[in-house]
């Protein structure tokens, strides 16, 4: 699984941006960001359709496709139907990773059984979850087969480090990969505050990089973090890809960490 991929939340929703967004996805693939994350929820399937057009004719083995199932579809009545609809929109025979988008009312036992069946049928390669806090993960681990969860996709960036207190250590002990969505933050005021921070600005100048790239480099310095920034314009996709080339020193990483410290106590899991 590539460590830097492409998020597609809110992409494919505006007809006037369709071709530009499609070119953005293709540019990302050309630049090595072959992991593409989507969900049946995104644009009610239009994000998956956009990706399907963008990757048409490409070598499927060179791509890593991730999609997510609605919680209310994550059971016996609808999961297979949801998965097959996602596959059709994407124009592929299988998903590399299929995630439960967030906790819902369907028992985890039933969701795990359905995930395992889809995997046995070859419709998905691996499965995981999204927006699960430590208590959710512990409950999942008590379910038969729950320990086969490969990934937990959570909101994580320099300004939102709550998972570092107990969730991230728990996942690392069990080999569950953290996938960071919104890795450069969502929301104007929060993102501006991070980009305008003195430490971020200084490190960006030292690496001749954009401040946004420094935010990504902060996460990518941790060897097990997968980040999926979204970019609707090809030039922004190129900036994201170039962030993987930034090598922060330990002192630079500490300066960023000191500027935006992780909490020293349990906090509610950030979600969007």
CATH of residue 17's domain is 3.20.20.100
Residue spans of beta strands (DSSP E) within the chain: 6-7, 35-37, 64-69, 95-100, 124-130, 151-155, 177-181, 226-228
Q: How many domains in the chain?
A: 1
Which residues are within 8 A (CB) of 32 and not within 5 positions of it... i.e. 6 or more apart? 2, 4, 241, 244
Q: Which of 42, 98, 156, 181 is catalytic?
A: 42
Give the domain extent around 164.
6-187+223-242
- 33 domain residue, yes or no: yes
Residue 1 lies in a domain: no
Q: Is 265 annotated as a binding residue?
A: no
Six-digit token string for 124 = 């998905």
pLDDT at 190: 81
Pairing of strands 64-69, 35-37: parallel
Residue 158 has pLDDT above 90, yes or no: yes
What is the tens place of the pLDDT at every residue in 29-39? 999 999 999 99
pLDDT tier at 142, thresholds 50, 70, 90: very high
Order of strands, sheet of 64-69, starting from the edge strand that comes earlier in the sequence:
6-7, 35-37, 64-69, 95-100, 124-130, 151-155, 177-181, 226-228
In a domain, 141, yes or no: yes
Residue 191: pLDDT over 90:
no
Residue 256 falls inside a structural domain: no
Any domain includes 252:
no
Q: Are 42 and 51 in contact (CB under 8 A)?
A: no
| Contact between 231 and 237 (Cβ < 8 Å) | yes
Question: In this predicted model, which residue has the larger pLDDT, 261 or 192?
Answer: 261
Whether residue 268 lies inside any domain: the answer is no
Contacts of residue 66, Cβ cutoff 8 Å, sequence gap at least 6: 5, 35, 36, 37, 38, 95, 96, 97, 98, 99
Q: Which letter does DSSP use for residue 175 in this model? A: T
In a domain, 212, yes or no: no
Is 42 a residue of the active site?
A: yes
Rounded average pLDDT over 161-186 = 96
């Amino acid at each position: 699984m590539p460590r830097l991929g492409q998020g597609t939340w809110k992409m494919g929703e505006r007809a006037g941006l369709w071709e530009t967004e499609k070119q953005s996805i293709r540019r990302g693939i050309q630049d090595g960001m072959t992991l593409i994350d989507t969900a049946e929820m995104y644009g009610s399937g239009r994000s998956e359709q956009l990706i399907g057009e963008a990757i048409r004719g490409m070598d499927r083995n060179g791509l890593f496709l991730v999609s997510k199932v609605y919680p209310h579809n994550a059971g016996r009545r609808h999961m297979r139907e949801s998965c097959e609809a996602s596959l059709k929109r994407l124009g592929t025979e299988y998903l590399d990773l299929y995630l439960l988008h967030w906790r819902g009312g369907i028992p985890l036992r039933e969701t795990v059984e359905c995930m395992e069946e889809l995997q046995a049928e070859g419709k998905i390669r691996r499965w995981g979850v999204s927006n699960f806090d430590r208590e959710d993960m512990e409950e999942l681990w008590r379910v038969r087969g729950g320990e086969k969860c490969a990934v937990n996709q959570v909101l994580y960036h320099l300004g939102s480090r709550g998972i570092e207190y107990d969730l991230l250590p728990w996942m690392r002990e069990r080999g569950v990969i953290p996938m960071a969505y919104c890795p450069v933050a969502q929301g104007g005021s929060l993102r501006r505050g991070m980009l305008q921070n003195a430490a971020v600005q200084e490190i960006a100048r030292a690496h001749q990089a954009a401040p946004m790239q420094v935010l990504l480099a902060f996460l990518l310095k941790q060897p097990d973090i997968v980040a999926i920034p979204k970019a609707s314009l090809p030039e922004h996709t190129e900036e994201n890809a170039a962030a993987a080339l930034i090598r922060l020193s330990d002192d630079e990483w500490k300066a960023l960490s000191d500027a935006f410290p992780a909490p020293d106590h349990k906090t509610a899991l950030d979600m969007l």
